[in-house]
Structure 1
Amino acid sequence: MNSPSLDFETAVFDKEYVALGDRREAIVRGGRHLFDRLPAAFEGVRQIGVIGWGSQGPAQAQNLRDSLGDSVKVVVGLRSGSRSKGAAEAVGFREEDGTLGEMFDVIAASDMVLLLISDAAQAEHYREIFAALRPGTTLGLSHGFLLGHLGDVGETFPPGVDVVAVCPKGMGPSVRALYEQGATVNGAGINASFAVEQDVTGRATERALGWSVALGAPYTFQTTLESEYLSDLSGERAMLLAGVHGIVESLYRRYQSQGMTPDDAFRHSVETVTGPVSRIISKDGLLGLYHRLDGTDREVFAQAYSAAYPVSLELTAEIYDEVRSGNEIRSVVLAGHRLARFPMGKIDRAEMWKVGQRVRAERSEDREAPLDPFTAGVFCGVMMGQVDVLLEQGHPYSEIANESVIEAVDSLNPYMHARGIAHMVDNCSTTARLGARKWAPRFDYLLTQQSYPAVDDKEVDPAPFAAFEQHVIHGVLRTCAEMRPSVDIFVE
């Protein structure tokens, strides 16, 4: 992918530029003080249809309804017989007042349609969905999977509609919870990226920005739909989910083989990653984590980093190729046809994750998770491998930082700290769950078979760490930290 030339114009919101490394990117700051501009952003939109009630659907429907008030009607569309109907009714969407209806009826009646059903369902039903869209409608996506699928099957979006995306950098429950905190805490919310794929009406950019502001995003960054799905699908198959899963499983076994008890092995692997490592990176960046260490701990970090980085670079490059080629998208579509017969099993019954339940239950203020330097080095080495793959592929700095670092330490890892990595792997989107099951073992095996023996045999090439301290990502993360939401991610 060539580096996209990104800039946009808006007459409704205030665009500003931020310096990220050696580049400049345009952003829009959000905030509730901008809600009175939303009618202008959604000019010509009388009804927004929110289709689906998975992770993002409940949050986005409620946030939009609360932000827009009476200026635009927000209607939830569900398939006939959906088991989610009761949940939608419980938060105030009702057939009686026209705010809840059958999905295709809602699509046909809406001026802006936010398609938040699963990736597999989009791939299965896109022809019917496109047929229901009226000319001049704005089709909104929160993930670029459908673009990738259309390219794979040789089709395109309907030519007579806008196509935009707003992609919150957090799970739906957090999008909702932080929006509610935003009523009293300035700056609470989940940052988002936006993209304009087609602009038929001339209003696509304003509608996308209005959508993001209405969701409560403190900052909105620009990307392209292609760049979003390439980085997002690759990221969840690498650092964001499969990578962290493979890291901790490999480290848990390693530490036990070195004589730790199961509980201590869990603390030095999982608890270190989801606890102090993520908290420090969130506030101080990757370099701040390294500087938190002293003496021999820095040497241990550097060895672990240099051993893990090449494995991550190679494997993330393979993942990116698989996503870009369409192979990963096809695998998700094919799995959708198999799941009724072969449903995905859960991993949380394995011995390691039962130990984790006990360790989390025994947490106390006087027993903090350890900041293990070897674990920290492996984690950062894998993370930086993904950073460099996305850099090589020309992604915007803001997207690289969000998809490789910020979404991990500010959104997903805190959730895993509260509930467990196994819980996340067992309960995230179908697309992400499939990716974790496919790629986590690859991270586990390569770290176990190549990285750790290199450390033990003192055969680690120090070159990866030598490049670490001067890496451009550190300056990018310092700027992004200034745009960090003013509260920590909310975990119910």
Structure 2
Amino acid sequence: MMAAPSVLEERAKAADFNTKCFKKERIELAGTVEYIVRGGRDIFSSLPAAFSSVKQVGVIGWGSQGPAQSQNLRDSFQDAGVDAKVVVGLRDGSASMANARKAGFTEENGTLGEMYKVISESDLVILLISDAATANCYKKVFDAMKPGATLGLSHGFLLGHMDTIGETFPKDMNVILVAPKGMGPSVRKLYVQGKTENGAGINCSFAVEQDTDGHATDLAIGWAVAIGAPFSFQTTLRNEYRSDIFGERCILLGAIHGICESLWRRFVMDKGMDEEEAFLRSTECITGPVSRVISKRGIKAVYTDMNEEDRAIFAQAYCASYEPAYEIIIECYEDVACGNEIRSVIAAGNRAKRFPVISPIDGTRMWKVGQVVRSKRSERSDDLIDPFAAGVYCATMMAQIDVLMEKGHVLSEIINESVIESVDSLSPYLHARGVAYMVFNCSFTAATGSKKWAPRFDYNLSQRAYTAIDNGDALDMKRLDDFLNHSIHPAIIECAKLRPSVDIALTGLGEDDAARAALS
């Protein structure tokens, strides 16, 4: 079996792109040149040309991304005058049929049907079922697609699976990707907000794996614009799954889960802190004020905003935590890149047919305390930043950035996967509903990854970083200088100019929305 192309080989494929329907912009990030397409409702007039070859879009699945993308596409087509129908395809007897009908997709108006029938009739098939299910049924999907149709993916997992078993996509179909850098509910909520404020939405990466008619790039960009992307940047399917599956196991979910548990236990057991105070200084601090500072002004601002005493605590925590975090992060990346982690997800999916493999984590004392703390938010300000917790979190985020840079990913992808998706899309939900809640209710791929990797972060930080501090071991304080002078900081500020024009509003978040609040 031939090895999959390297990240750098994939990056060369995505160095530039041509578009006939949209305006391409050149940006510079830390001395590197990339090209993006800026979205917004003001360019909806370009959508009819982008979708000119499409009469029906079949959105297959109603999990995290399905509700958001189907509704956004339907609304955008109507507003832009696109002559195409959006049809949702689900398994016969699916419990999600009722939810799709509530969103206006019905059998009577021809916008809801059995998935394989919908696939066979669609010019663009957007496959949004779970990764494990995709691995089991993709051949049947390929067989059902009509000649010349386009397969659309929002995750490169399927290609990763096919790489591990030596298979390729049929040569007679277009294969494109649009991957929102956030959860499905975020994609919908920010799109709705964007109806009154141009530019609200979730950034997307896009990729063209196969182009049989020369129109695939414009179709991919059009799809991103139609679901509300403020800006879209090019990647490849392989680099997307390498960074995405890895990212959700690290700073997006797995690492933050492990960091919060290690910090709370340290504050309570080693420092004798009150349990609620410990939760405020660990989980609440990270998902709330630390994330908000990073969102608005970058990672470095977390440190520069502190007084001298807190800076010293941050520096100690940062320098002690960077290497233990890096050690886990690079192992995780390489397990994803070689296919081990993909095989692990598929194996977990097969085990799930016999017994549950994802269990809730909110029954422990820490997460019970968290419920109490969140219930008291109206009684206090929500701006407490603990310098030790901030140092551990920022060290882990920077270690993830460094691994992706070393592996050759483009900076727009690195910043979106490691920073923007974390603090702008995921942290508001983690803060509103709790880390424990989100770990249990996220996508199967993300949940299995968090379950597997979170304890590794907890263990390595507790056994190496915290003990080094407590034992008075010499720390490599040069790491703080590396952090303060890192080239990523101006690049983050540049990318932040392209963030959504409004913050996500979580008022009115219902249980159904929260249960679907999953990583894409």
The interval holding the TM-score normalised by the smaller chain is over 0.9
SS at match of 2:47: helix
- 1:313 and 2:322 matched: no
Q: Match of 1:158?
A: 170
Superposition pairs for residues 68-83 of structure 1, below 5 Å? 68-69=77-78, 71-83=83-95
- 1:22 and 2:42 matched: no
Q: CA deviation at 1:489?
A: 2.1
SS at match of 1:50: strand
Q: CA deviation at 1:405?
A: 1.1
SS at match of 1:48: strand
Q: Match of 1:382?
A: 396
Describe the superposition over 1:78-97 as per-residue Cα deviations: whole angstroms up to 9, x where unpaired: 01111100100111111112
State the alpha-carbon separation in 2 of the partners of residues 255 and 237 from structure 1. 24
Aligned residues: 492
- 1:280 and 2:289 matched: no
Q: Letter of the 1:292 partner, please give it.
A: D
SS at match of 2:298: helix
| 2:161–2:339 Cα contact (<8 Å) kept | yes
Describe the superposition over 1:8-54 as per-residue Cα deviations: whole angstroms up to 9, x where unpaired: 11110100111111111100111112212111001211110000000
Pick one of 229, 237, 252 that aligns with 1:217.
229
Q: Match of 2:376?
A: 362
Pick one of 232, 240, 252 that aligns with 1:240.
252
State the alpha-carbon separation in 2 of the partners of residues 365 and 20 from structure 1. 42
- 1:101 and 2:113 matched: yes
Superposition pairs for residues 242-257 of structure 1, below 5 Å? 242-257=254-269
Describe the superposition over 1:81-121 as per-residue Cα deviations: whole angstroms up to 9, x where unpaired: 11100100111111112111110111110000000000001
Q: CA deviation at 1:364?
A: 2.3
SS at match of 1:436: helix
SS at match of 2:377: coil
Q: CA deviation at 1:237?
A: 0.8
State the alpha-carbon separation in 1 of the partners of residues 382 and 333 from structure 2. 36
Q: Match of 1:116?
A: 128
Q: Match of 2:476?
A: 461
Superposition pairs for residues 24-63 of structure 1, below 5 Å? 24-63=33-72
Pick one of 395, 401, 414 that aligns with 1:400.
414
SS at match of 2:502: coil
Superposition pairs for residues 416-431 of structure 1, below 5 Å? 416-431=430-445
Q: Match of 1:450?
A: 464
State the alpha-carbon separation in 1 of the partners of residues 345 and 73 from structure 2. 30
SS at match of 2:253: helix
Superposition pairs for residues 175-254 of structure 1, below 5 Å? 175-254=187-266
| 2:263–2:389 Cα contact (<8 Å) kept | yes
SS at match of 2:252: helix
State the alpha-carbon separation in 2 of the partners of residues 226 and 102 from structure 1. 30
Q: Match of 2:491?
A: 476
SS at match of 1:240: coil
| 2:246–2:333 Cα contact (<8 Å) kept | yes
SS at match of 2:177: strand
Gaps of 5+ in 1: none
Describe the superposition over 1:259-308 as per-residue Cα deviations: whole angstroms up to 9, x where unpaired: 11110010000011011100000001011111111111111111111111
State the alpha-carbon separation in 1 of the partners of residues 115 and 413 from structure 2. 32
Question: TM-score normalized by structure 2?
Answer: 0.93
State the alpha-carbon separation in 1 of the partners of residues 383 and 222 from structure 2. 41
| 1:256–1:265 Cα contact (<8 Å) kept | yes
- 1:345 and 2:359 matched: yes
SS at match of 1:239: coil
State the alpha-carbon separation in 2 of the partners of residues 367 and 108 from structure 1. 55
State the alpha-carbon separation in 2 of the partners of residues 484 and 111 from structure 1. 31
- 1:131 and 2:171 matched: no
Q: Match of 1:485?
A: 500
SS at match of 1:402: helix
Gap change, CA 1:446 and 1:91, over 3 Å in 2: same
SS at match of 2:25: strand
- 1:260 and 2:273 matched: yes
State the alpha-carbon separation in 2 of the partners of residues 490 and 211 from structure 1. 24
SS at match of 1:11: coil
Q: CA deviation at 1:369?
A: 4.4
| 2:252–2:421 Cα contact (<8 Å) kept | yes
State the alpha-carbon separation in 2 of the partners of residues 422 and 321 from structure 1. 27
| 2:41–2:199 Cα contact (<8 Å) kept | no
| 1:165–1:196 Cα contact (<8 Å) kept | yes
Gap change, CA 1:123 and 1:308, over 3 Å in 2: same
| 2:7–2:239 Cα contact (<8 Å) kept | no
State the alpha-carbon separation in 1 of the partners of residues 371 and 196 from structure 2. 34
Pick one of 292, 299, 302 that aligns with 2:305.
292
SS at match of 2:299: helix
State the alpha-carbon separation in 1 of the partners of residues 69 and 505 from structure 2. 16
SS at match of 1:461: coil
| 1:252–1:266 Cα contact (<8 Å) kept | yes
| 1:267–1:369 Cα contact (<8 Å) kept | no
Describe the superposition over 1:421-444 as per-residue Cα deviations: whole angstroms up to 9, x where unpaired: 001101000000000000000000
| 2:42–2:198 Cα contact (<8 Å) kept | no
Gap change, CA 1:184 and 1:404, over 3 Å in 2: same
State the alpha-carbon separation in 2 of the partners of residues 333 and 154 from structure 1. 16
State the alpha-carbon separation in 2 of the partners of residues 322 and 345 from structure 1. 23
Q: Letter of the 1:445 partner, please give it.
A: Y
State the alpha-carbon separation in 2 of the partners of residues 296 and 349 from structure 1. 36
| 1:219–1:483 Cα contact (<8 Å) kept | yes
Pick one of 406, 426, 449 that aligns with 1:435.
449
RMSD of Structure 2 on Structure 1 (CA): 1.0
SS at match of 1:25: strand
Gaps of 5+ in 2: 1-5, 510-520
Pick one of 319, 335, 341 that aligns with 1:328.
341
State the alpha-carbon separation in 1 of the partners of residues 325 and 75 from structure 2. 43
Q: Letter of the 1:327 partner, please give it.
A: N
Describe the superposition over 1:162-190 as per-residue Cα deviations: whole angstroms up to 9, x where unpaired: 11100111111111111111111122111
